[in-house]
Amino acid sequence: MRRVAARRKAKRQGTQPVRQHRMIAIRLWDWSEWCRQVVRGVQRFAHGRPDWRLFVDAGPTRAIPLAGGESAFDGIITSVLSDVRSWKRLIRDGRTKVVSITATVPSSLASIARVQVDDAMVAQTIGRHLLAGGFRRFAYYGAMSPGVDDARGKGILAFAEREKCPCDILEPTSGQAMPVHMPSMTRWVARLQKPVGIAAWNMDVARKIAQACQRARVVVPEQAAIVAWDDDVMLAETLEPTISAVVLPAERLGYEAASLLHQQMSGSAAPKTPVLVEPSGVLHVRQSSDVSALENREVHLALQYIREHVGEPLKVSHITSVLRISRRKFEQDFFRVTRQTPYEAIVQIRLERAKQLLIETDWRISRVAERCGMGTEQTLRRLMVQHEKIKPAEFRSRFSAP
């Protein structure tokens, strides 16, 4: 409050107080693992800015109180834009710079500076996973309300259209915020044509979809496979069923948002388009989309076997021998269900494992290659360049924490 009083007094006297520190607020929706990682990313940037002072608050309310009010801050990084009128007033005033880090932005705030995960690429990761599971019908349940631009919904719809697969997106009605209450979600799940692969806005929405499936007597994952847009390992693995999810670069997002905020506070204009943070493409497969019990059981058992033995030598003849099935019929069924040959699936799963190890460990690249079944560092490098257009060392540098 003394800071605000000093500013008002200086304004009356025609002078401005000398700023010794830059006051930066981080306004978040909740205290989820995703949000904590965002804060860590901002902190990493702030470590190189001794004049930054960080203040963090969280909650889904229209206006989250921060010491001294929004105008007391030089910059705000926010994932909460529900109080549109206040944000428009703050941006119009111009003294406090604002950077949004949410995938849903009200259309009236389209000009706000934004840093976002490239949700089109996340949608491709989810879509490819569901296609490999044999799903040819998609659905998406988001967290938007009328007049809000949802990049996640757009991403999964665009992927479905490219693959010529139908996609059911629950549209909000006037005055309705999402996610809606459980009875509405249950009715939505019940009327979806099955089998269907459902992409969920986040882990909390995915959990509610699983509950709605249980109420509607829809079997997961046989009739409905569920994948959350962002992973929260502790929550995902304590739910029943456990929830599959994409790993989002939340820490990188926070770092890049802090960098953009610093540029604006230094006099640079806000970019006209969102700054996109590239995701790693890593998806943790859990019970909610583990489809080994579906109609094409041998195909999905083969995929499960490949994942469980990814670090070992794998040949199609060995897989068919273990599963006791005809190789010719297996290869035909495998391609029909997954749109891949068994060899292509082995390479893809090995690359997914390699990317995960490159991000989550500090192992030498030769050890990563060995543990994901590539054998040598040269083989891993060749396959990553061929399929991912990037070398292993470059991938680690780009997607590991800054």
Cβ contact 352:281 at 8 Å? yes
Q: Give long-range contacts, CB 8 A cutoff, 24+ apart: 10-14.
A: none
3-state helix, strand and coil shares in percent for the chain, rounded to the nearest 5: 50, 15, 40
Nearest to 56 by CA among 333, 285, 324, 254: 254
Q: Which residue has the higher pLDDT, 83 or 79?
A: 79
Q: Which two tokens mark 117?
A: 């995960």
- Rg, the chain, Cα only: 24
Distance, in Å, from the CA atom of 246 to the CA atom of 222, rounded to the nearest integer, reads 20
pLDDT for 263: 94
Render pLDDT for 341-398 as a digit per residue (tens, 0 to 9): 999 989 988 998 898 889 878 899 999 999 999 989 999 999 999 998 999 999 888 8
Q: What percent of the chain has pLDDT over 70?
A: 86
* Residue 175's pLDDT band (cuts 50, 70, 90): very low
Token pair 């060392």: residue: 393
CATH class (in words) of the domain with range 2-117+251-277: alpha beta
Indicate the angle between helix axes 250-265 and 33-46, nearest 10 degrees. 40
Q: Look-up: residue for tokens 């997106």?
A: 169
Position 111 pLDDT exceeds 80: yes
Give the architecture-level CATH label for domain 119-247.
3-Layer(aba) Sandwich (3.40)
Lowest model confidence (mean pLDDT) among 28-37, 44-53, 138-147, 280-289: 138-147
132: confidence class by pLDDT, cuts 50, 70, 90 = confident
| In the chain, domain spans | 2-117+251-277, 119-247, 297-399
Cα dist from 76 to 69, 79, 334, whole Å: 11, 10, 50
Give the whole-angstrom CA distance, residue 165 versus residue 148: 25
**Residue 64: predicted pLDDT:** 45
Can 2-117+251-277 and 119-247 be said to share one CATH topology? yes
Crossing angle between the packed helical segments 377-388 and 342-360, to the nearest 10 degrees: 110
- Mean pLDDT to the nearest integer, 279-290: 87
More confident residue, 248 or 61: 248
Give the CA angle between residues 44, 83, 39 to the nearest 5°.
Answer: 10
Q: Which fold has domain 297-399?
A: Arc Repressor Mutant, subunit A (1.10.10)
For 135-139, what is the mean pLDDT?
A: 92
Query: Quick check: 68 pLDDT over 70?
Result: no
Per-residue confidence at 332, pLDDT binned at 50, 70, 90?
confident
Tell which residue, 341, 343, 344, 371, has the closest CA to residue 355: 371
Residues 6+ apart with CB under 8 A from 248: 34, 117, 122, 229, 230, 231, 279
Q: What is the pLDDT of residue 98?
A: 94
Q: What is the pLDDT of residue 176?
A: 47
Taking CA atoms, 237 is separated from 58, 240, 328, 370, in Å, by 24, 8, 37, 27
Which of 274-311 are b and which e, b meaning 16 or more Cβ less than 10 Å from the residue's Cβ? bebbebbbbbbbbbbbbbbebebebbbbbbebbeebbe
- Check residue 214 and give its pLDDT: 93
Look at phi and psi of residue 174 and say left if phi exceeds 0, alpha if psi is from -120 to 50, else beta: beta
What is the pTM (predicted TM-score) of this model? Answer: 0.72
Q: Residue 127 pLDDT > 80, yes or no?
A: yes
As a whole number, mean pLDDT of residues 123-149 equals 83
| pLDDT, mean of residues 33-59 | 91
The mean per-residue pLDDT over the stretch 226-243 comes to 90
Does an H or E element contain 183, and which? Answer: helix 182-191
Say if residue 63's pLDDT is above 50. no
* Per-residue model confidence as pLDDT tens digits over 260-269: 999 999 999 8
CA distances from 365 to 70, 101, 346, 391 (A): 47, 33, 19, 10
Q: Which residues pair with 97 in a beta bridge?
A: 75
Give the three-state DSSP class for 104.
strand
Count how many Cα atoms sit within 13 Å of the Cα of residue 96 in the half-sphere of its side chain: 21
pLDDT value at 3 more than 70: no
- Please give the pLDDT value at position 326: 85
